[in-house]
Structure 1
Amino acid sequence: MLLRTLKGRHSILLVFVPVIIILLWLGTFLNPVSLTMGQTQMPLYELLLFLTGGSNLVLNIIASVLLVLIAYGMVRLNEQYIFIRQRTDLPAFVFAFIGTGAISLGGMHPSLAAAFLMFLAIDNVFKIYQGTATLAKSFNAGLLLGLATLFYLFAGVYIIWLWTALAVLGYLRAREVLAGLMGFIAPLFFAFFWYFWTDGLGAVFQAISGLFSVNTDFASISLFQFVYWGILGFLVIMSSIYMLTVYEEKKISSRKYFIVLLSFFLFSAFSFIFFGGSGVEQYFISIIPVTYITSHYFVLQKHSWIGEVFFYILVLSSISIHFLA
Structure 2
Amino acid sequence: MSALLHSESLTVGQQMPLYELLLFVTAGNNLVLSLVACLLLILMAYGMVRLNENYIFIRQRTDLPAFVFALIASGTISLGGMHPSLFAAFLLFLSVDRVFKIYQGTATLSNSFDAGFLIGLASLFYLFAAVYLFWFWVALAVLGYLRGKEILAGLMGFMVPVFLVVAWYFWSDDIGELQKTVESLAFFQNSLGDVSVFQYAYWGILGFLVVLSSMYMFNVYEEKKISSRKYFIILLSFFLVSALSFSFFNGAGVEQYFISIIPVTYITSHYFVLQKHAWIGEVWFYLLVVSSILIHFIG
TM-score interval, smaller chain: over 0.9
The 5 A counterparts of 1:2-17 are: none
Give the residue type in structure 1 aligned to 2:40: L
For 1:213 and 1:161, the matched residues in 2 are separated by 22
Q: Output one character per residue of 1:287-311: Cα deviation in whole Å (capped at 9) or x when no partner.
A: 0000000000000001111111101
For 1:218 and 1:279, the matched residues in 2 are separated by 7
Q: CA offset at residue 224 of structure 1? A: 1.1
Range that drifts further, 298-307 or 116-125: 298-307
1:107 paired residue among 81, 88, 92: 81
* 8 A Cα contact 2:116 2:154, kept in partner: yes
Give the residue type in structure 1 aligned to 2:174: G
**Aligned match of 2:11:** 36
- Using structure 2 for the length normalisation, give the TM-score: 0.99
**Aligned match of 2:204:** 230
Please give the secondary structure, in 2, of the residue aligned with 1:286: helix
The 5 A counterparts of 1:1-325 are: 26-37=1-12, 39-325=13-299
* 8 A Cα contact 2:239 2:263, kept in partner: yes
Please give the secondary structure, in 1, of the residue aligned with 2:253: helix
For 2:170 and 2:112, the matched residues in 1 are separated by 28
Identity of aligned residues (%): 69
**Aligned match of 1:5:** none
Distance 1:219-1:46 versus aligned 2 partners, 3 A rule: closer
5+ residue gaps in structure 2?
none
Give the residue type in structure 1 aligned to 2:120: G
Please give the secondary structure, in 1, of the residue aligned with 2:220: helix
5+ residue gaps in structure 1?
1-25
Please give the secondary structure, in 2, of the residue aligned with 1:276: coil
Query: Cα RMSD over matched residues?
Result: 0.7
For 1:41 and 1:219, the matched residues in 2 are separated by 19
For 1:193 and 1:216, the matched residues in 2 are separated by 29
Pairs aligned (count)? 299
- Using structure 1 for the length normalisation, give the TM-score: 0.91
Structure 1 runs (4+) greater than 6 angstroms displaced: none
